[in-house]
Amino acid sequence: MNDQAQVLRTLMANNGNGDIFSKNSNMKVITVASGKGGVGKSNFSVNLALALKELGKKPLILDADFGLANVEIILGERPKYNLSHVLNEQCSMQEIVTESKYGVSFISGGSGIKDMMFLTPTQIDKVGRGIASLEEMSDLLVVDTGAGINEIVLKFCRLAQDVYIIITPEPTSITDGYALIKTIANQMTEHVRVNIIVNKAASRQEAVQVFNNLQSVAKAFLKLEIQYAGFIPYDEKLFMAGKNQVPIAIYDQRAKSSVAYREIAKQICDVKESDEGEKRNLLNKFKSLFSH
């Protein structure tokens, strides 16, 4: 009943434009990806969302690392429903949004990547509308993805206005990150900003050095301008936070990684409306990406 009232209000606010899904969304989508696994994507997604909430944003995390469920583990939650309940038509997208004890809500990914690879037209419409409808509760959707350069990761990168690629100073992480950037650069038909986060850095200097090398290679070989979006120092406290299933931003606000996550969140909030990138019609975009 409440849902229906909300839909009506949104329709009215939309000047009776008819279909609330046919307009560009005010919810920004950012996708967190990497070439190599274990570089800190899920911790980044969760702690960034917590820091953004502190700054007055309404972030929502979508755990698109299907099958691994790291977001809920970091948050110490056991959600009742996940995306597979939407795919099986047991729940609506809004019904599977789980509010964590820290106030940031998330959507659990569910069982397997295969479920998302071969969606039926009905499922594409349902999930697409579901994602578009999240605008009612969130202004920023943070999509945490799995490791590797697979189709699902690339689709979620293309759905976003901003992609955050996490790399660490390890050579394999840099080369795998570059491979992902290259695939994104070759596949994109739309404008997506590629932002680089250097995680587990020994110092700011090291992070900047790693970024500069990557930037010059991307410029020379891909003709792509990538952005430096900050660094997170290597922080042994993250291990204890993880062990206790409490995100570091909550576990120890003064930990050096917590401070860094807050710094990055602040920069994201500081982006002027005019620099926010092209607004997306999420339903159409989702349909064009996931139809086969």
Sign of the CA dihedral 182, 201, 29, 92? Answer: positive
Which residues make up the interface to Mg ion (CB under 5 A)? 41-42, 65, 70
Question: Considering the complex, what minimum distance in angstroms separates the CB of residue 260 from ligand ADP?
Answer: 8
Give the residue, chosen from 238, 250, 255, 265, that forms a contact with ligand ADP under the rule CB under 6 A: 238
Picked from Mg ion, ligand ADP, none, the partner binding residue 199 (CB below 5 to 8 A depending on kind) is: ligand ADP
Residues numbered 110 to 169 that lie near ligand ADP (CB under 6 A) are: none
Q: What are phi and psi of 167, to 5 degrees?
A: -130, 160
When asked if residue 25 is in the footprint of ligand ADP (CB under 6 A), the reply is: no
The answer to whether residue 39 forms part of the interface with ligand ADP (CB under 6 A) is yes
| Selected binder of ligand ADP within 25, 31, 43, 195 (CB under 6 A) | 43
**Residues near 161 by beta carbon (within 8 Å), at least 6 away in sequence:** 28, 29, 30, 191, 192, 193, 276, 277, 278, 279, 280
283 and 22 in contact (C-beta within 8 Å)? yes
Q: Which stretch binds ligand ADP (CB under 6 A): 54-62, 79-87, 234-242, 275-283?
A: 234-242
Q: Name the token pair of 283.
A: 């339903």
Question: Least distance to ligand ADP from the beta carbon of 2, Å?
Answer: 35
30: number of Cβ within 10 Å: 21
Tell me the closest approach of the beta carbon of residue 113 to ligand ADP, in angstroms.
Answer: 15
Among 242, 252, 266, 277, binds ligand ADP (CB under 6 A): 242
257 contacts ligand ADP (rule: CB under 6 A) = yes
DSSP state of 25: P
Q: Which stretch binds ligand ADP (CB under 6 A): 11-19, 37-45, 92-100, 103-111?
A: 37-45
CA–CA gap between residue 49 and residue 33 (Å, rounded): 15
Tell me which residues in 56-85 interact with ligand ADP (CB under 6 A).
70
Least separation in angstroms between CB 15 and Mg ion = 41
Among 35, 40, 59, 128, binds ligand ADP (CB under 6 A): 40
Q: Quick one: which H or E segment has residue 163? A: strand 162-167
Cα–Cα distances in angstroms (integers) from residue 35 to residues 135, 238, 269, 288, in the given order: 29, 21, 26, 24
- In SS3 terms, 166-223 reads as EECCCHHHHHHHHHHHHHHHHHCCCCCEEEEEEEEECCHHHHHHHHHHHHHHHHHHHC
Positions touching ligand ADP (CB under 6 A) are 34, 37-43, 70, 199-200, 232, 234-235, 238-239, 242, 257
